[in-house]
Amino acid sequence: MFRWGIRGPSAIFIAACFLLSLASFNVWVDWRKETPFSSDVDQYYAYLVATVIKKDLTFEFKGAGRYWLQNKKDTVGHKVPKVSVGMAYMYAPFFMIGHVVASTSDKYEADGYSKPYGRWVHWGAILYTILGLVLLRSILLRSFTELVTTLTLATIYLGTNLFYYTNSRGLMSHNYLFFVFALLLYLTVKWHETPNKKHMIGIGATIGLCAILRPLEVLIAFIPLLYGVSSKETLINKWNLVVKYKVHLLVGFLAFWIPIIPQLIYWKWATGGWLFYTYSNNEHFFFNDPLIIDMLFGFRKGWLVYSPLVSFGLIGLFTRKKYAEFHLGITLYIVIMIYLLSAWWCWWFGGGFGMRALVQSYALLALPIASIYATILNNKFLKPALFVVVAGGLYLNFLFTWQYKKRIIHWDSMTQATYWKVFGKWKVNREERKFINANWEKPDYKAAKFGNRGLEFIKVKEEKQ
């Protein structure tokens, strides 16, 4: 049974997070311009500008040169965005509010890039994260106490780079996927408790949305497929359930294509083919050389270095207490995703704070984190230590986030020397700045595409601060 009440510490915590995000807008926002539409975000946003503002999906309008457009010799001639349309779906409701505000104002241009667009889409990003926390709360409270739930939500939101990817660079795909993952957890439980086609349509469409947001995230299908499977007997029971509700499964499969079909139609119209691989510039996986240690523990972008509280979630995968139904699906997703991401040519995933490619997984890791917390809180000797460790992790996350915003932590060039030089410092003096500028090491992106797995770097030039 889900709990949706607005009372209790966990509900108060979520409300406080929402107010904190709104109140601290000018503190944490990390935009290169007045609006957040730059780099990857501008590419996601391109579909909305082309469709609503320019009414030209050929991208031949003035200013389209800012987008990373792709084409091939055998296409019909239209260039297409490098990214898929998924994020445009997520932006759309708040983009339209911004468009109405700009269109009815004498102060702003209705060009897709004036202040109302950026503000409304950013506030939408915060809302998606908060809704994800609300869904997670309802799921956690089915098996855990208010204390465990509140502590887990605090870890997920305030103790990881989800906070940065909500409040500073909230228009990247990660916090949106966090919300969609939480929604899938909820729908999975609902269908298994009360099987009906409505919930299965939701499951199918949600998985399809994940796939069109970031294709690798189709692996989230493990969650509903393996829900309740923990032994040979439960696997047989699950198969019998699938057979019994095979029509539901068919409906879910059809719903899976709902978010994807518009993209396929667009590619067919623009390029002549139903599928179009936009990462064609020698960007691929090195499956025989995954850099798992670097990805988890490296000072450049190490997941557990910059979000250490995530360690509780990985440790929790070795238990199944109170979340046995989800355990197999979550474990497979995490293990396979770590392998695949560490095998990608750009395993540090360009510029960003921490291992951004795994931010969405926090929705899943909330369950093993809660399981570990519940176990520790039942031990009167370990209980005080847990509060100290979590408080320390929250402090570190705010410190790291501030350092990243102030360019004390570099977006892709951190080293062991620079990490320890600035560790614990909210600001650096001139000598410290000189040291870190001289010791940052920039990855050789071109070499990485051809198999250099991180052994050679280019020194970063001193930057004006």
> pLDDT tens, 8-58?
999 999 999 999 999 988 889 888 777 899 989 999 999 999 999 999 999
- pLDDT (0 to 100) of residue 1: 63
- Residues with Cβ within 8 Å of 85's Cβ and at least 6 positions away in sequence, in order, are 47, 212, 262, 263, 266
Question: Would you say residue 378 has pLDDT above 60?
Answer: yes
Give CA–CA dist 188/195, Å, rounded: 10
What element of type H or E holds 459?
strand 457-459
Question: Would you say residue 390 has pLDDT above 50?
Answer: yes
Question: Would you say residue 458 has pLDDT above 80?
Answer: no
- Find the helix packing angle between 232-244 and 246-256, rounded to 10°: 80
Question: Would you say residue 67 has pLDDT above 80?
Answer: yes
> CA 105: distance to chain centroid?
34
Which phi and psi angles does 97 have, rounded to 5°? -65, -45
Computed over every residue of the chain, the mean pLDDT equals 93
Q: How would residue 459 be classed by pLDDT, with cut points 50, 70 and 90?
A: low
* Span 104-128, pLDDT tens digits: 999 999 999 999 999 999 999 999 9
> CA 310: distance to chain centroid?
14
Question: Would you say residue 272 has pLDDT above 90?
Answer: no
- pLDDT (0 to 100) of residue 464: 42
- pLDDT (0 to 100) of residue 321: 82
- pLDDT (0 to 100) of residue 75: 60
- pLDDT (0 to 100) of residue 4: 67
* Span 202-241, pLDDT tens digits: 999 999 999 999 999 999 999 999 999 999 999 999 999 9
**Region 355-382: what's the mean pLDDT?**
96
Cβ-count burial 311-320 (b if 16+ within 10 Å, e if not): bbbbebbeeb
**Region 169-179: what's the mean pLDDT?**
96
**Region 292-316: what's the mean pLDDT?**
97
* Token representation of residue 450: 């051809």
- pLDDT (0 to 100) of residue 279: 79
Give CA–CA dist 415/304, Å, rounded: 15
- pLDDT (0 to 100) of residue 31: 82
- Residues with Cβ within 8 Å of 296's Cβ and at least 6 positions away in sequence, in order, are 302, 303, 304, 338, 355
Rounded alpha-carbon distances, angstroms, from residue 10 to 13, 84, 148, 183, 326: 5, 36, 9, 18, 22
* Span 51-64, pLDDT tens digits: 999 999 999 999 99
Q: Residue 442 pairs with which residues in a beta bridge?
A: 458
* Span 150-168, pLDDT tens digits: 999 999 999 999 999 999 9
Give CA–CA dist 410/141, Å, rounded: 38
**Region 58-76: what's the mean pLDDT?**
83
Q: Which of 26-35, 81-90, 332-341 has the lowest mean pLDDT?
A: 26-35
- pLDDT (0 to 100) of residue 455: 55
* Span 431-444, pLDDT tens digits: 999 999 999 999 98
